[in-house]
């Protein structure tokens, strides 16, 4: 199952993490998109993007577009965010291909995710409003935050679905949590308060998230 493109993607991920830590910009510009390119190649190679796997493939492709846009001039930040918004929607469709049964556990998870999202919004809102065109940014980031939160919830719900085996469900859930953490750190560093090595931590959690999410989808497809 784990063929050569997966390991090439992992190698580029290591290069990306080293590049963000050491400040190697040229290597970073090569490594970051290469990770997604080889994950796309790997997922097509082992699944053919059949059935619901197509949506996870679309999510990877949109994430690649977002990665490239975010590496360009900062004025492309919002456009890159739109690409990731649609990537989250694709992930949501993939995870919700079959609905989860409503149980007390599902209700509790939904409440906890909602509380977490509310706390994050409360922390970042003042920082966003201080920047020029703050209201515009707040509206856009709120829409993005909703898509990210729903993606997190849809991934966590795989834990309650009989058709999802435990390992893929755990990978999906951990990947979504890592994606949520990565984006929260990114927004906090950009709009609230800068913190040391922020880019390194954002990249580390983001790539671990993508590896976990797509591996969970592949395992689920090949079950």
pLDDT in tens, 77-119: 788 889 999 999 999 999 998 888 888 989 999 999 999 999 9
Least confident of 6-10, 20-24, 123-127: 123-127
User: What pLDDT is recorded for position 129?
Assistant: 81
User: What pLDDT is recorded for position 118?
Assistant: 93
Report the domain count for the chain: 1
User: What pLDDT is recorded for position 210?
Assistant: 98
Give yes or no for residue 59 having a pLDDT over 90.
yes
User: What pLDDT is recorded for position 196?
Assistant: 85
User: What pLDDT is recorded for position 71?
Assistant: 85
Measured distance CA(154)–CA(169) in Å, rounded: 11
Q: Please state the rounded mean pLDDT for residues 140-162.
A: 94
Q: What is the pLDDT of residues 9-45, one digit of tens each?
A: 999 999 999 999 998 888 988 999 999 999 999 999 9
Q: What is the pLDDT of residues 175-204, one digit of tens each?
A: 999 999 999 999 888 888 888 888 899 999
Mean pLDDT score of the chain: 92
Q: What is the span of the domain harbouring residue 104?
A: 4-221
Give yes or no for residue 76 having a pLDDT over 90.
no
- Higher pLDDT among residues 68 and 190, named by residue: 68
User: What pLDDT is recorded for position 223?
Assistant: 81
User: What pLDDT is recorded for position 94?
Assistant: 95
With cut-offs at 50, 70 and 90, classify the pLDDT of residue 171: very high
User: What pLDDT is recorded for position 152?
Assistant: 97
User: What pLDDT is recorded for position 192?
Assistant: 84
Give yes or no for residue 74 having a pLDDT over 80.
no
Least confident of 41-50, 57-66, 119-128: 119-128
């Amino acid at each position: 199952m784990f063929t050569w493109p997966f390991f090439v993607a992992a190698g580029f991920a290591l290069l990306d993490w080293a590049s963000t830590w050491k400040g190697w910009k040229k290597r970073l510009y090569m490594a970051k998109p290469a990770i997604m390119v080889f994950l796309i190649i790997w997922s097509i190679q082992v699944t053919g993007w059949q059935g619901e796997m197509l949506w996870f493939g679309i999510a990877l492709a949109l994430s690649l577009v977002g990665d490239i846009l975010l590496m360009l001039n900062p004025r492309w930040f919002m456009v890159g965010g739109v690409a990731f918004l649609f990537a989250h929607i694709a992930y949501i469709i993939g995870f919700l291909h079959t609905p989860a049964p409503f149980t007390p556990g599902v209700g509790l998870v939904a409440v906890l995710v909602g509380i977490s999202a509310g706390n994050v919004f409360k922390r970042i809102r003042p920082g966003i409003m201080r920047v020029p065109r703050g209201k515009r940014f707040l509206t856009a980031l709120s829409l993005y935050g909703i898509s990210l939160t729903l993606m997190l919830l849809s991934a966590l719900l795989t834990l309650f679905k009989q058709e999802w085996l435990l390992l893929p469900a755990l990978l999906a859930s951990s990947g979504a949590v890592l994606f949520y953490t990565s984006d929260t750190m990114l927004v906090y560093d950009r709009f609230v308060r800068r913190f040391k090595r922020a880019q390194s931590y954002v990249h580390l959690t983001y790539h671990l998230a993508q590896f976990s999410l797509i591996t969970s989808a592949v395992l689920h497809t090949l079950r």
